[in-house]
Amino acid sequence: MALSPRALWNPSGSHGIEVITDPTQRRALWIELAIVGVLSFGFSAIYAVLSLIESQMAGGIGGTTVALNPSRSEFDVIDAIRQVMSGLRLFAIAALGVYLLWRSGVGFAQAGLRRVSPRRDVPPGLALAAVIGLPGLALVAVARALGVNAHLVPATADTWWQWPVLILVAVGNAAAEEIIVVAYFITRLRQLGVGENRALAASAVLRGTYHLYQGLGAGLGNVVMGLVYGRYFQICGRTWPLVIAHAVIDVVAFVGYALLSDHLSWVG
């Protein structure tokens, strides 16, 4: 699909979403947005900002280490249950957004959630993963070298059950973030008459903010990711490629690190 620079900068079409003009319904939507935002990623964004400020006050984010998917108990059974619950919670957050849209009359197709199509969703998903993932690795390395990013340590996999749990969390992250931060928020903002560029900026800034606990580099990288993924959604009207792309990036990061750690332990 050929796109002009004008279409990329200012996409037209709302994919069947009508602007709500009734004051009562508009007020209800703003309240719903605030509640969903707080329950999903709003508190995470505030926590991330406070973590960044705290790190800077303690000597700089570059001297800190952030564990991704850390162990939640010294007992394997309890750890496994908590990790699975954490992954399922992410799917529940995504499901809440889908349900609220459907309950208010927004169809799955209008929210970009048509049935998954291997031909229409997988190739662009893999392309988006490459577009964001490869430069993202370079950005993380540069940000780390400049001291504006924490040292990120994904979880290792010492027992068999940790492998499927890492994949579960990776896919859960992808579903929750792309369905809520992109599909749900942009769709609701369309209903409220917010312009496409303003909606895109709001979605991207939210994504970047709740990643600031990892450092300024991570925050900036996720803003860029939000701009690319959000614009793809606005133009193409499909969410699943974003979920697939995000899941691929996280699975490679989580499982790849675990495999590398396991290999190095055997070599050592």
Q: Measuring CA to CA, which residue among 84, 89, 260 is closest to residue 164? A: 84
Flag whether pLDDT at 262 surpasses 50: no
pTM (predicted TM-score): 0.89
Q: How far is the C-alpha of 88 from the C-alpha of 94, rounded, in Å?
A: 10
Residue 49 lies inside a defined structural domain of this protein: no
Residue 188 lies inside a defined structural domain of this protein: yes
pLDDT recorded at residue 257:
62
Mean pLDDT of 25-51: 93
224-249 pLDDT, tens digit each: 999 999 999 999 999 999 999 999 99
Flag whether pLDDT at 146 surpasses 80: no
41-78 pLDDT, tens digit each: 999 999 999 988 988 888 777 777 777 777 777 888 89
pLDDT recorded at residue 198:
95
Residue 28 lies inside a defined structural domain of this protein: no
Residue 33 lies inside a defined structural domain of this protein: no
Residue 79 lies inside a defined structural domain of this protein: yes
Tally of domains within the chain:
1
C-alpha dihedral, 203 to 204 to 207 to 210, nearest 10° = -100
Residue 202 lies inside a defined structural domain of this protein: yes
Residues 6 or more apart in contact with residue 184 via CB below 8 angstroms: 36, 97, 98, 100, 101, 111
Query: Which structural domain, as residue segments, surrounds residue 220?
Result: 58-267
Per-residue pLDDT band at 13 (split at 50, 70, 90) = low
Residue 12 lies inside a defined structural domain of this protein: no
Burial of 126 (0-12, 13-18, 19+ CB in 10 A): middle
Q: Is 137 helix (H, G, I), strand (E, B) or coil?
A: helix
Q: How far is the C-alpha of 92 from the C-alpha of 176, rounded, in Å?
A: 8
Residue 21 lies inside a defined structural domain of this protein: no
